[in-house]
Amino acid sequence: MNTRTLPRWRFLLARHDDPQPPATPAPAPPAPDPAPADPADPADRPLGPAGEKALEEWKKRAKEAEAAAKAAADRVREFEDRDKTELEKAQALAERATREAEAARGELARTRILAEHGLSEADAEFLPTGTEDEMRAAATRLAERLAAAAPPPRSGPRPDPSQGPRQPAPPTDYRTASKSDVQAKLRELGVHSYK
What are the distances in angstroms from CA 19 to CA 15, 25, 79, 103?
9, 18, 11, 39
Instruction: Sketch the domain layout of the chain as residue ranges.
Output: 103-151
Q: What is the pTM of this model?
A: 0.36
Crossing angle of helices 86-116 and 132-149, in 10° steps, is 30
Residues of the chain falling short of pLDDT 50 = 36, 38
Burial class (CB in 10 A: 0-12, 13-18, 19+), 143: middle
CA dihedral for 42, 48, 51, 56, sign (positive or negative): positive
Query: What integer pLDDT is reported at residue 169 of this predicted model?
Result: 81
Spell 24-47 as b/e; 16+ CB within 10 A means b: eeeeeeeeeeeeeeeeeeeeebee
- In angstroms, the CA 24 to CA 34 distance is 29
Sequence letter at residue 54: A
